[in-house]
Amino acid sequence: MAAPELADYKPIFFSDDEWQFILAATDRLIPAGGKGKALGALETNVPIFIDQQLHSEEFGSEIYMQGPFNTEAPATMGYQIPFRPQQIYQTSIRLINQWSQTTHQKAFHALTLEEKDAVLTWVNKNGIDFAALGEPNLKASQFFSQLLSDTKHGNPRGQILEGDDPFEGPRSEPYPLPALDDTLDNVMFKEAAKKLGYHPFPNPSACVSRAWKNPYGNQIAPCNYCGYCSKYPCLNYSKASPQTAVMDSLKRMPNFSYEVNAEVIKVVLNDDKKTAKEVNPDSMSMSFLLMGADFDLTKYVSTHNVGGAVMGDNPKTSALNKYLQSWDVHNVFVLGGNAFPQNFQANPTDTIGAITLMAAQAIKDQYLKNPGPLVQA
């Protein structure tokens, strides 16, 4: 289906006045032209993206709305606005237009380009006092952050903006969520780096910044900045760990089963002694750390402990080939951090995902069509 043309598009969420504001504001946030004659927000249908996103009933539905809320709280305290994104847009647009009518005797969209830029800068700096206009629970800068984030999401092929990675290549799709809010140490680092002439930017995070239903259909909650990511599972269901992001979908599949706290120490073979028949409870070792016992991390390079059934190019020195297939039993594939021959200095999740994807593709495209060793010893 062809994308709708902006000139012919009828908004499904915004009113006519709100739509005029969105068209004008996004055009100033990402104008067309500049170096390389980049496409702007209007040329890439950013307003349509925002309108359709806000129209979705699920968008923002998982945000905790019970309060109490503290609009003066730092970002590390998590979401502190008693509004869903839809309400943030509608309330803010109404207040900014109200301020613009009082100050300039015209709505925002009717201002000159210079006036629009000045107003948006003023909004970003909380120069427009929403509390004085009747809304004490929302700041102008909070709306600006939301609008800028959504505008950048809708313009993945446009120019690199302030705060983005200046070295990244063009991508066809935006990141699914905006960056997490900066904590104090990030703010201090960013300011110091800028003074030295560098261009700091946020790395993609494995913690989600907003409530989100991922492509597997799993609902993930927004990070509340508790600070216990390292060494702990996420009780808030915000980390992109397999337990949060994938497992719930896998459990609903009829051809999938799993055991927890289990270590496979024996595979039951078929009569041919070349293929696995099953892995049953009798061939597993279950172990638990007793309550109150200490877990000694000092012997490890990092806490991302890996290894156990490593991959390699020689069955004499490795348990698995490059497709994570057992050298000895060809219908056994061991996917995960077990495949690494040594410990990582930092997070191994991306690499685990990459080698698992490669193994899954090999199973689908090669093994299922012709079962047997995918690599000859």
Helices and strands, counts by H and E, the chain: 9, 6
Model pTM greater than 0.85? no
Q: What is the pLDDT of residue 1?
A: 40
Question: Torsion angle of alpha carbons 57, 58, 60, 64, nearest 10°?
Answer: 110
**Closest-CA residue to 85 (of 135, 146, 29, 133):** 146
Give 3-state DSSP helix, strand, coil % of the chain, rounded to 5. Answer: 35, 5, 60
**Following DSSP, what letter does each residue of 101-132 receive, concatenated?**
HHHHSS-GGGS-HHHHHHHHHHHHTT-S-TTT
Q: What is the pLDDT of residue 113?
A: 94
Q: 312 vs 267, 327, 328, 332, 351, CA distance in Å?
A: 20, 10, 13, 16, 15
Q: Percentage of residues in the chain with pLDDT exceeding 90?
A: 36
Tokens standing for residue 288: 């638990």
Q: What is the pLDDT of residues 317-347, one digit of tens each?
A: 999 999 999 999 999 999 988 999 887 766 7
Distance CA 178, CA 50 (A): 14
- How many CB atoms are located within 10 Å of the residue 348 CB? 19
Q: Are the CB atoms for 329 and 274 separated by under 8 Å?
A: yes
Distance CA 235, CA 32 (A): 44
Q: What is the pLDDT of residue 104?
A: 96
Q: What is the pLDDT of residues 105-144, one digit of tens each?
A: 999 999 999 999 999 999 999 999 999 999 998 999 999 9
Averaged in consecutive runs of 10 residues, what is the pLDDT profile of the chain (377 residues)? Answer: 72 96 94 66 86 82 74 68 91 97 96 95 94 93 89 62 61 70 85 86 79 83 81 78 82 84 80 85 58 61 76 93 95 92 76 91 95 92
Q: 120 vs 17, 105, 263, 297, 329, CA distance in Å?
A: 17, 17, 57, 50, 64
